[in-house]
Amino acid sequence: MEKVALNPSRYIGIFRPTKPKAKILQNLLQSHEIRFGDAFEKLIGEYLALAGFSNLPKKIKINEDNLSLDQFFKKGKKYYFIEQKVRDDHDSSKKRGQINNFEKKLSVLVATYGEENVSGYFYFIDPELAKNKKYYQTELKKMATDYGVNLALCYGEELFKDLGMGKEWLEILEFLKKWKQDIPDLPEINFDKDAQSSFDEIKDLTPAVFRKLFANTEIYNSIVLTIFPDKKVLNLLLNHFEELSADSKIYKTLHEALKTKIKTK
């Protein structure tokens, strides 16, 4: 909803090759891909903890820049970090950027903990895709020699085996197979099906977002009514705005605007 309010032309512009519903689905599918990678960061962190590694804060500072490590952990005096991606399918410019980013983090960690205490992994979860494998191997080999550290490129199970955690990968595969049986073919875009949860998720969006969504009739008809077709969430919002309107002019305005929209067939 924030994206729609900020850039409505991405959804309803005349130069879009898709209808609004298709664009919403595209957004949700992209979001699921990103969240799948985020979930695996948490998952692998939990497995590392169970295997006896100590997870460390993932934020590091380079001059004025803050960088985030996907995994950062230690065992004894040894510090490990992992640059973690879902799959190796990047184009040429992206792969160079990934390697440069990896070296930035390596440089700081070596300067902080010493070359003899740092090991790094460039890791792809999906073992089925290895588009840039030769490039990464070459660059990591040069980097390892220049910095005097142990670096490895891993796909799928290789990381777990290298860390002495082979059985954990088999467990992940089993759970993924079960999970794939339960997920729908496409994301649900009717958020009235669980109206209360949807309302709880969006009720605290800034008034500016709601103002833009309700002020533009095309956005309201094409986007808002697509994701709230039964108007259940909209009616919950209407009551919410009414409660807030006693002490706030903007919520009184939003209440009137939404009330008018809901009544319009």
Residue 87 φ then ψ, to 5°: -150, 155
User: pLDDT per residue over 87-130, tens digit each?
Assistant: 999 888 889 999 999 999 999 999 999 999 999 999 999 999 99
The single-letter DSSP state of residue 88 is B
| Beta-sheet strand order (sheet of 71-75) | 54-55, 71-75, 78-85, 118-124, 150-155
Q: Averaging pLDDT over each range in 138-142, 166-170, 188-192, 243-247, which range is the top one?
A: 138-142
What's the rounded Cα separation, in Å, for the pair 77 and 80?
10
Which residues lie across from 68 on neighbouring strands?
59
What is the identity of the amino acid at 98? Q
pTM for this entry: 0.78
In the chain, CATH 3.40.1350 sits at 52-164
Taking the domain 52-164, which CATH number applies?
3.40.1350
- Are the beta carbons of 106 and 118 closer than 8 angstroms? yes
User: Residue 185 pLDDT more than 90?
Assistant: no
